[in-house]
Structure 1
Amino acid sequence: MAFEGLADRLQSTIKKMTGKGKVSEQDVKVMAREVRLALLEADVNFKVVKEFVNNIRTRAVGAEVMESLTPGQQVIKIVKEELTALMGGEQSKIAVADRPPTVIMMVGLQGAGKTTTTGKLANLLRKKHNRKPLLVAADVYRPAAVDQLKTVGKQLNIPVFEKGTDANPVEIANEAIQYAKEEHLDYVIIDTAGRLHIDTDLMDELYQIKQNLSPDEIFLVVDSMTGQDAVNVAENFNEQLDITGVILTKLDGDTRGGAALSIKSVTNKPIKFIGMGEKLDQLEDFHPDRMASRILGMGDVLSLIEKAEATIDEKKAKELEDKMRSASFDFDDFLEQMEQVRSMGPLDELLSLLPGANKMKGLKNVQLDDKQLVHVEAIIKSMTKQERKDPSLMNPSRKKRIAQGSGRPIAEVNRLIKQFNEMRKMMKQMSGMTGGKKGKRRKGFNFPMM
C-alpha cells in the first residue's frame, strides 16, 4: 500500500512523544531528525523535506507545545497540520464553467495511465456530481489510444467523440465542444497525445490546443510509482502549459509517497484526484487532511463512509438491518452483504481507513486476501436454498457435499458455519439488549458485519 513505509516510520517516531509529560528541545531535535530521514527515504524532494522539518521544529519548541498539558498530543497535531499543508491544505475542487460545457485537457507521458484516467474522471463526474461528460479521442499518433478510449467509453456507457487518426487534434477538440453544446453535455474531457518523454513537438501541440480551446482545467496525469521523476515531469509540464492540477495514478501500489508529498510544493499546483486501483470506479477526490490522517495512523472514516454511501443500496441496507435485529439473517443475506463489501474495494484498503487498524492486535501482519471472500462465496453457493435459510439443517453428509461442490476443505465449511451461527447468536443478544429500539444510523451507511 502507498505510504506504508513512511507511515510506519512517522508513526513510530511520533509515538515516542505521546506519553511524555514534558517535551524538551532535545526531544524535538531527535524527532525532527527521524522525520527528515523518513521523508527522504520516501523519495520526498529534499528542499521540501528541509522546509517541512524546519516548520515542525519551530512550532514544536514554541509555547504551543512547551506550555501544553499534553505536549505529545500537540506535537502530533503539528505534524498532521504540516503534512496537510504540504499536500495542499484543503481539497481543490474541479472547475465548473459559467456556461457549459466545462473543458478539461488531460495531459501526460505514455505509461502514466492517462487514457484510463480520462475514463475514470468521466465516470466520477457522472456518478458523484451527476454530470453528463463527453470523452474526446485527440491522441491521433497512437491508434490504440483511440480504440482504448472507445472501449472505456463503451464499458461506462459514456459517449466518445473521435475522428480517427487522420484529423488534426485541435479540430477534433473544437468539433467535440460544438457537439457537446448541441447535445447539452456538461463536461468535455480531452485525451491528448502522450510521449515516452517530454519533447518540443508534444509541448507545441498541447500549447496549440490550450490556446485554441482556453480549457477550464489542464490536468497532468502522473504515475506516483516513479517518485521524484513524477515531480520533475510535473515541473516541466507546468512550466510549459501552466497546468491547473495533478492526478496521481497507482497510489494503491507499492509507492513510497514522495510524489504526493512533493508535487504541490514544487509546482504550487494542487493534487485534484488520486487513482487507487485499476478499475474504472477507482478514482477519488484528493483530500490533503484525510491523507495526512491515513499516514499518521488516524484512519479516514469520512472516506470509508463515502465509499459505503456510493456502493451500498440504502433500501437493501435497511432490510438487512431489520433482519439482523430480528435474528432472521441467513446465508443469502450474508452473501449479499459480502458482495456489498467487495464492491467498496480491497479489504486491506478498507481496513487502512479505520483509525489505529494497523496497531490492532492480530491485524498488523494479517494478509487480507480477497480470494478468501471468493472461497466463502463458493461454499455458500454450494448449499441448497433450504440450507442457506436454515443452517441447523447441516449434518456431516450435507457438509461433505458442500465441501465437494465448492472445492474447499470440510474444515473450512465447518468454520464458516460455526462463525455464522456465532454471529447470529450475537445479533440476537444485541437485539435483546437494545429492547428492539432502533438507534439512529447515518443515511446510506450500514457497514456490513463480516
Structure 2
Amino acid sequence: MDPALAVETAFKAKHRNIEEALLRGDSDVAKLYDDATIFITGGSGFLGKQLIEKLIRSCNVRKVYVLLRPKKGKPAQVRLHDILSDPVYDPLKSLYPNFTDKIIPIDGDVRELKMGLSEDDWKTITEEVNVIFHMAATVNFQEDVRTATITNVRGTREMMLLARACRQLKSMVHVSTAYSHATKHRINKAVREDFYEAPIAPEDMITLAENNEIDYLNDILKSRGSDWPNTYTFTKAVAEETVRTMAADLPVCIVRPAVVIAAYREPSPGWVDSNQVLGVSGLILGAILGMIHVMLGDGNRRIDFIPVDIVTNALVAAGRETALTRRQPGRQTKIYNVTSNRNHISLGHHFLTVNTRAREFASPKTIWYGFTILTKHKFVYIILNWLLHYIPASIVDSALYITGKKLRYDLMLLEQCRRPGDRLA
C-alpha cells in the first residue's frame, strides 16, 4: 500500500469511534447544534470550508446560511457550487448525498453597510439564526489600511449589529488571530487570553477610513500602529475592541488561531485548500514536493503552526461553551487562543522533519528529491537559490521548449518572486 494512503487509513480507523459516538448523539458539544440554523461569513476561505464540512458531518444542523459576495461575475449560488466541489466535501457526499440542501448562499459583502444584505435576507437571518461564525477578513499583510479597516473593523461592527438584531441567537464566535496583540514591545512575552488596549477607538478608525485619503491614513498608521507589523494584525486588534465594546449582553466569544496549516485528521490527513499554496502551507507543500530546496531563515526560531481541523474543533466547542454560559450573571466575553505554544517546534526542526520523515510519504506529484537547506545568511541563500532553483528550472524549461511543450518552472519561480509575502496568513 502507498505509505501516505496507509497513514490516512490508520488515522481514519482511530477516528471511527468518534464518528460512532456522533451518530449515537453522545456528544455534548454537538447537541447545541441540533436543529440549529447557522450563519457563516468567510465560508469560501480555508477555515470556512472546513467549518462547514465539520458542522454538516458532525452536527445535526437544520440550515447553514453562507454569506458570499459576487466575484468575477459569479453570483453567490454559482460560487457556492464551486466551493462545494472542493475535495474536502468528498466524504460528505458518500455519507449524506443530499447535504448540499442544508447549505444556502446569501448575497452580501462584509465590506458593505448592513453587510450588503437585502431587507428580506436581513429579516430571514435575524428571525432564524441561532449561531453565528464571523470569519470573513482580509488576511493580506500588504493590504492598504483603508481596505483592511473597512473589511476587518467596519465589517465586524456590522456583524455585531446584525447579531444584536437576531431574536434567537444562542452564540456568536468571532475569529481573530493569535497575532492581534503580538506587538513589537511584547516580543518574548506572553499574549494572554484577554483584551488589550486597542491602538485607536474602532469608530474613530472607521470614520477616518471612510473620509480620508490613503496617505493620511498611512500617517495615522505610523503614529498609532507602529507597534504592529502590518495592517492585518493592526486592524484585527481594533476589531477585537469592536467586539468588546459592542458585546454587552450578547453571547459572544473570540477565537484567536495561530498560523493555520493543513488538516491533522479531519476530514482526511493533509487536506489543504488550493488557495493556501501561496501561504505557509505552500512553503510546506513546496518542500515536500521537491520544489523548494532553500529557505532564508533562522533555524532556532519558534514556529506556531496549528492544523485547520484543530481550529475548527475549537470554534465549534467555543460556540457551545458560549451558549451554555450566556445567561450567567456578570459574564465576560471570553477569548480562546488556539496555538501550538505549549508544544512548539523550531523552524530548523520542521525542515529536518521534511528532509527525513516526509520522504517516506512522497506524493506521485513530487518533481524532485525532497530536501530543503535552511540558512540565515542572505548571500548563501542567493547562491543556493540559483544553484538549486533557477538553473535546474531553466534546464527543464529549455527541454520543454525544445520538445514543444508548455514552459512551467521558470514562470512559476518568477511568479513567486513577484508576490513576496502575499497572503501569508
| Interval of TM-score (by shorter of Structure 1 and Structure 2) | 0.3 to 0.5
Larger radius of gyration: 1
